[in-house]
Structure 1
Amino acid sequence: MSKVLVLNDKFEKASELELPASYAEVNPHNLYLYVKSYLASMRANSAHTKGRSEVSGGGKKPWRQKGRGGARAGSTRTNVWVGGAVAFGPTNNKNYFQKVNKKQKRLALEFALNEKAANGKLFAVDSISVESGKAKDAAKIVEALKVRDVLIVKDLLDDKTLLAFRNLANCYVVDASEVNAYLVATYSAVLAEKAALANLTKEG
Structure 2
Amino acid sequence: MPTVGLFNKEGQKVGDIQLAEGVFGIEVNQYALHQVVVAQLANKRQGTQSAKTRSEVSGGGIKPWRQKGTGRARQGSIRAPQWIHGGVVFAPKPRDYRVSIPKSMRRVAMKSALTSKVLDNQMVVLENLELESPKTKEMVKILNAFDAKKTLIVTAESNENIYKSARNLGEVAVLPVNNLNVYDILKYDKFIVTKDAVSKIEEVYA
- Establish whether TM, by shorter chain, passes 0.5: yes
Query: Where does residue 99 of structure 1 map in the other structure?
Result: 100
Matched, 1:15 2:20: no
Q: 1:109 and 1:201 mapped to 2: Cα distance?
A: 11
Deviation at 1:160, TM superposition (A): 1.9
Spell out, residue by residue over 1:102-148, the C-alpha distance to the aligned partner (whole angstroms, 9 max, x if none): 22111111111111111222121232122131100111111111123
Q: TM-score, normalization: structure 2?
A: 0.89
Q: Indicate the residue corresponding to 2:44 in structure 1.
A: 42
Residue matched to 2:116? 115
2:178 paired with 1:139 = no
Structure 1 distance, partners of 2:4, 2:185, is 14
Alignment of 1:162-201 (within 5 A): 162-201=163-202
Query: Cα offset for 1:9?
Result: 4.6
Q: Over aligned residues, Cα RMSD in angstroms?
A: 1.9
Give the AA of the match of 2:74: R
Change (3 A) 1:73 1:5: same
Question: How many angstroms does 1:46 deviate by?
Answer: 4.3
> 1 CA distance for matches of 2:78 and 2:51?
17
CA contact (8 A) 2:153 2:173 kept: yes
Structure 1 residues 4-59: Cα deviation after superposition (integer angstroms, max 9, x where no partner): 32113533222222333334224221111111111112234344322111111111
The 1:67/1:8 distance shift into structure 2, 3 A limit, reads closer
Alpha carbons 1:55, 1:77 under 8 Å: kept: yes
Amino acid at match of 1:180: N
| In structure 1, C-alpha distance between the alignment counterparts of 2:43 and 2:87, rounded to whole Å | 29
State TM-score, norm by structure 1: 0.90
Instruction: Measure the CA separation in 2 of the matches of 1:62 and 1:125.
Output: 74
User: Secondary structure, in 3 states, of the residue corresponding to 2:99?
Assistant: coil
Runs of 4+ in 1 over 6 A off after TM superposition: none
| Pair 112,176 (structure 1): closer, same or farther in 2 beyond 3 Å | same
Gaps of 5+ in 2: none
Kindly provide the amino acid, as one letter, of the partner of residue 64 in structure 1. R
Name the structure 2 match of 1:124.
125
**Aligned residue type for 1:81:** W
Calculate percent identity across the aligned residue pairs: 32
Cross-structure match for 1:83 = 85
CA distance in structure 2 between the aligned counterparts of 1:57 and 1:5, rounded to whole angstroms:
71
The number of aligned residues is 203
Contact kept? 1:137, 1:164, Cα under 8 Å: yes
Contact 1:77–1:84 (8 Å) recurs in 2: yes
